Amino acid sequence: MEKLSEIVTAIDAQLTETLLENFYAERKKLNGGNKWNGPLLQIQGGGKRSRQGYAFHKGGREELQFNVGFEDDGKYFRYGVAFSLEPSQDLPDPAVQLVPKMMLFNRLIEHFPKLLNLQMWVNEGDRSHHLPTGPIDSHWMRNGVFIFLGRRVRVPASGVPRRAIADAAHVLNMLWPLYEAIESEHSRATGNTEYKAARLCWNTNYWHSPSGREGKLTDVDTFEGEHGFGHEEWLFNHSTLIDGWKYGFIQALNRSQEKYQGQHLSLLLYAIDHNSKQRYWIGTIDDAEVLTKRDARRISHQFRKEGWLRAMREEVRSLELNPATLNDAETLVNVRYRPESLHMFDDLKPFPYRLLKSARYGQLQRLVTPISSILEESENEEESSGRNLSKTKATRHVSGGSYEVDLIQTQWQQSLENTLSEDVKGAKVDIERTVGGHRVDVVLALGKREIFIELKTFGPARKIIRDALSQLMEYAYWPDKHRCQTLLIVGPSEAGVEANTYLAMLRKRFGLPVHYLPYRNGRIAGIADWLKTLPE
């Protein structure tokens, strides 16, 4: 095929029964744009002549646009997504609309390691520059350039082959989660936020893994009373991400799934310790999307494929409980969110009964007062909590007795042993190296620099830094040594503005070389770019 009109028709046919089949309906949900009933790709010019022209989705000039087209006088055919910063009569200053989304692209691209295999380049006039696949340098965030992420294939004499058509459809589908993330984040950042309260079952492992019957309901007429655990107990475990999304379960959404499916909600989460009867605010999820039943079945299948469901069942069995209920798709996952949308409070915040009309699991509650007022009142709450959040390890029983082992940390170490070598070229990676009588979780050696890395798999950033910092200082300096050049704390959550400000103060005022990065999809997110910022 040589005519773009034929190629676009063939690609759209390949998109049938994929995520992009109903692209414009999904786009309207994300950003409220006009719904268009036509095919994804709209030809913009040269579609009837051989080996000329390009096409992108309607409305794509102000977005990361799905784009296909010919390049270099028809010698090449491209397919993927683009930021087009070329001024036009309708959009004389595209950088105004696109630079904020390019910044989101830079923050989110690390969540999609599969996309790193694609090509990335920038066209500026008649010149083309190949770029490393990843964040866009600020130099290119200006009018007059065209930035592309996807594939560029040579066109043989016979025209664009069928295999390229099939690959184009595959690549466009691969890129949908990135587009979805950028538009979702941008819509949330520019809109007003109304929170709803949702109750989670009690957990003393920061909702990373089941913690047993401690603090839970004992009434056998309730799910947690009968089974000793709840399906929400993995809600904050970010070691199981799919395309940068955390998928989990919230009971309060289950009965309302038909009403809210496909919608984005901001949630204020709370739980009750039934030993003390005290209620606690846990944190917020600023942009949670309620899954359709079809998506829940698809993701449940992925959980089985990745072995995550088997691991969840083993964690329940390790507590001498029955995991038989971890099977039905509709009670395994019903919500998803981006890890950076989760904001756990540094400490659980006790609050009085009067702030919520009901504490029933199966209902979302609309907040009648602003969230800031609710949290301010909670700060003054003086009820005794009696809580215990120090249990961060699962107990496993083996022949000859039992021992405590952090199963998640072991998984992290196994993943990092492989991915750090890929992400940091030329680095040597040691797991559990013995240093000064202690075993350091990970040691990364790069040239003359050694970095001690402490992994913390549970909790908000403030607690993680508090616990990890003293350990790293002992490993590096006790009693009067200097064993490494840099200290790195790695946890499951984003550091946030206050935590980063605190660490920057420690570096500036005390010369302490301590940093924090999040763990994402088997990798330390952003470590390659972070290394470039370190002093020689």
Q: Considering the chain, what percentage of its residues have pLDDT values greater than 90?
A: 52
Same domain, 53 and 158: yes
Measured CA distances, 121 to 129, 134, 140, 239, 322 (Å):
6, 11, 11, 31, 53
Same domain, 159 and 201: no
Residue 163 lies in domain: 4-190
Same domain, 217 and 361: yes
Q: What is the CATH number of the domain that holds 67?
A: 3.30.930
| 146: confidence class by pLDDT, cuts 50, 70, 90 | very high
Mean pLDDT of 252-270: 86
Same domain, 132 and 26: yes
Amino acid residing at 270: Y
Last residue within a domain, chosen from 322, 346, 369: 369
Contact 251, 201 (CB under 8 A): yes
Q: Is residue 396 part of a domain?
A: no
Same domain, 337 and 252: yes
pLDDT for 189 equals 66
More confident residue, 35 or 61: 61
Contact 237, 260 (CB under 8 A): no
pLDDT for 404 equals 35
Q: Is residue 324 part of a domain?
A: yes
Q: Is residue 130 part of a domain?
A: yes
Please report where in the chains the tokens 């082959």 appear, as a residue: 161
Residue 24 burial (CB count, 10 A): 18
pLDDT for 406 equals 62
Contact 507, 513 (CB under 8 A): yes
Same domain, 182 and 238: no
Contact 3, 47 (CB under 8 A): yes
pLDDT for 259 equals 85
Q: Is residue 375 part of a domain?
A: no
Residue 498 burial (CB count, 10 A): 11
pLDDT for 380 equals 56
Average pLDDT, the chain: 86
Same domain, 145 and 279: no
Q: Is residue 392 part of a domain?
A: no
Strand residue runs (E) in 33-190: 42-45, 54-56, 65-71, 76-84, 119-124, 127-131, 146-154
Q: Is residue 399 part of a domain?
A: no
Q: How far apart are CA 514 and CA 316, in angstroms?
A: 36
Q: For the sheet with 76-84, list strands across it.
A: 42-45, 54-56, 65-71, 76-84, 146-154, 119-124, 127-131
Last residue within a domain, chosen from 352, 369, 386: 369
User: What's the pLDDT tens digit per position in 499-535?
Assistant: 888 999 999 999 999 999 989 878 998 898 899 888 8
Q: What is the CATH number of the domain that holds 430?
A: 3.40.1350.10
The residues facing 131 across adjacent strands are 120
Mean pLDDT of 100-108: 90
Q: Is residue 395 part of a domain?
A: no
Interhelix angle 4-14/162-189, nearest 10 degrees: 70
Total domains in the fold of the chain? 3
| 46: confidence class by pLDDT, cuts 50, 70, 90 | low
Same domain, 58 and 139: yes
Same domain, 167 and 217: no
Q: Is residue 389 part of a domain?
A: no
Same domain, 57 and 126: yes
pLDDT for 28 equals 85
Report cis status (omega within 30 of 0) of the bond before 479: yes
Same domain, 146 and 186: yes
Whether this prediction's pTM lies above 0.85 is answered by no
pLDDT for 433 equals 93
Residue 87 burial (CB count, 10 A): 13
Mean pLDDT of 351-374: 72
User: What's the pLDDT tens digit per position in 364-402?
Assistant: 887 766 676 666 665 555 444 444 434 334 333 323 332
Amino acid residing at 131: L
pLDDT for 386 equals 40
Last residue within a domain, chosen from 346, 369, 392: 369
Tokens of 325: 């209920």
User: What's the pLDDT tens digit per position in 465-484?
Assistant: 999 999 999 999 999 999 99
Same domain, 44 and 62: yes
